[in-house]
Amino acid sequence: MLPKKKLHMKVGILDSTLREGEQTPGVVFTTDQRVEIAKALSDIGVQMIEAGHPAVSPDIYEGIRRIIKLKREGVIKSEIVAHSRAVKRDIEVGAEIEADRIAIFYGISDTHLKAKHHTTRDEALRSIAETVSYAKSHGVKVRFTAEDATRADYQYLLEVIKTVRDAGADRVSIADTVGVLYPSRTRELFKDLTSRFPDIEFDIHAHNDLGMAVANVLAAAEGGATIIHTTLNGLGERVGIAPLQVVAAALKYHFGIEVVDLKKLSEVASLVEKYSGIALPPNFPITGDYAFVHKAGVHVAGVLNDPKTYEFLPPETFGRSRDYVIDKYTGKHAVKDRFDRLGVKLTDSEIDQVLAKIKSNPNVRFYRDVDLLELAESVTGRILKPRPPENIMALISVKCDSNVYTTSVTRRIVLIEGVREVMEISGDYDILVKVEAKDSTELNQIIESIRAVKGVKSTLTSLILKKM
Ligand code: HCA
Ligand code: CU
């Protein structure tokens, strides 16, 4: 491979889970959740937190106010950014709440000028200049976001940047609002902008409509962008923006830069998964369940010899661990390794026989350890290990408050550990949940977690005594 390139070391993250992320359909954060997410983002070392658009609603205002208070108390270290339309009222709210920075956005493509702002290019330049100066007059740092910059007329974009620089903005966010960039163009764009405006720093805000958001933010950083916008789990309008966990991993792999504490990424991703109610698909990079899980015999054999064969970086880099699954694709090495770990000694020929049984059941998706022990017992005729104690299974009927959307409750219940199946039902109750727990204490915790879900009115638990 070609030698790795160097990247300027200035690149940092602005995480917008609390602003862009909350624009994901169905996502709302409570004030407490907003504060908790901000603390987690600061703890992992995110340079800037876009905490929300305070003029949108009183609860967002309150959340940002509490985050800014924690910043003042030194609990949160990141720069706190408040989003704002280019209208005086929003700017006043951003200044009153004492955000470190106000980010003023304005759509500058002809489509946005016409269909949203009902204005001309010249008129827009005047109101942009006016609002940026107005914000500056409140003594706050200002970023200007050129919304839909990547579909705007280029000469006009340059004029806009000149205008906001002269009005006092020290950062400009280049928003690929509908995700139409691709990497080589992105790099060219940022190279050109950074050479023309050495006194401005640039952010890249890349939407993922064409699946290239991560590639585009890397290219932008190569081109000279110093702040990359991300959200945890890639949340955001439509299909979202570049996911923090993937951007951070790519920066580590390609440039050796650690923009955040990589080991804690997974924890923060889970927190956001829980609070957003948007479950990550298992095949999501870095923090998805299968990100470091191997399957085919050739792969597992390779990984058992040297994990580098099929891993770009060790899972421990991200506080995770590797695993492999056993099914008809499995080879001998994996089966042997699994029995070794279970403390069961099998001869080569016994392993071959177990493998033959596995391959003759092509529709089994996963062999769990208990299944494997059972197979080995049938092959060897020996009792290999006492059966693990049976777990408690229970059905929990859930009644929702009459004003809530049942599916939003269902989505949150699905994420609770120990929940095996969730069904929306008709009758006296709205949702039926099948749960599995190792003992009654754990069952109690699961019930409590279900009762704590917003919108749950009451529950009725039935233990499963016998299954046929
Ligand atoms: C929005 C638009 C925005 C702004 C990006 C930014 C976009 O939803 O308000 O402020 O950097 O994608 O253009 O998210
Ligand atoms: Cu956006």
**Model pLDDT, residue 3:** 81
331 and 424 within one domain: no
Report which protein residue has its CA nearest ligand 1's atom 5: 175
371 and 407 within one domain: no
Active-site residue 299, yes or no? yes
Report which protein residue has its CA nearest ligand 1's atom 10: 145
Distance in Å, CA 20 to ligand 2 centroid: 6
**4 falls within a domain:** no
Summarize the annotated binding site for Mg(2+) as residue ranges: 20, 205, 207
Number of compact structural domains in the chain: 3
With a 6 A CB cut-off, is 150 part of the ligand 1 pocket?
Answer: no
In angstroms, rounded to a whole number, what is the distance separating the alpha carbons of residues 258 and 190? 22
334 and 402 within one domain: no
Beta bridge partners of 124: none
**425 falls within a domain:** yes
DSSP 338-392: HHHHTT----HHHHHHHHHHHHT-TT-----HHHHHHHHHHHH-S--SPPPPPPE
**407 falls within a domain:** yes
Kindly report, residue by residue over 213-255, the tens digit of the pLDDT: 999 999 999 999 999 999 999 999 999 999 999 999 999 999 9
With a 6 A CB cut-off, is 24 part of the ligand 1 pocket?
Answer: no
Beta bridge partners of 461: 396
Note whether 434 and 420 are within 8 A (CB).
yes
205 CA closest ligand 1 atom index: 11
Name the region of 321 (left: φ>0; alpha: ψ -120 to 50; beta: rest): beta
**Model pLDDT, residue 1:** 83
Kindly report, residue by residue over 101-126, the tens digit of the pLDDT: 999 999 999 999 999 999 999 999 99
- Mean pLDDT for the chain? 95
**Model pLDDT, residue 387:** 59
20 CA closest ligand 1 atom index: 14
Q: Which of 117, 138, 299, 333 is catalytic?
A: 299
**1 falls within a domain:** no
**Model pLDDT, residue 7:** 77
Kindly report, residue by residue over 163-211, the tens digit of the pLDDT: 999 999 999 999 999 999 999 999 999 999 999 999 999 999 999 999 9
- Give me the domain span that covers residue 423: 392-464
Per-residue confidence band for 388, with pLDDT thresholds at 50, 70 and 90: low
264 and 185 within one domain: yes
DSSP-H helix ranges across 182-312:
183-196, 213-223, 244-255, 265-276, 297-305
**Model pLDDT, residue 403:** 82
Q: Report, as an integer, the average pLDDT of 409-426.
A: 91
Pocket test for ligand 1, best of 20, 23, 90 (most atoms within 8 A of CB): 20
Nearest in space to 227 (alpha carbons), one of 190, 270, 263, 276? 190
Kindly report, residue by residue over 302-329, the tens digit of the pLDDT: 999 999 999 999 999 999 999 999 999 9
Kindly report, residue by residue over 122-159, the tens digit of the pLDDT: 999 999 999 999 999 999 999 999 999 999 999 999 99
**Model pLDDT, residue 378:** 93
What amino acid is encoded at 268 in this protein? Answer: V
Report which protein residue has its CA nearest ligand 1's atom 8: 20
141 and 247 within one domain: yes
Note whether 129 and 163 are within 8 A (CB).
yes
**Model pLDDT, residue 370:** 85
pTM of the model: 0.84
121 and 85 within one domain: yes
Kindly report, residue by residue over 244-262, the tens digit of the pLDDT: 999 999 999 999 999 999 9
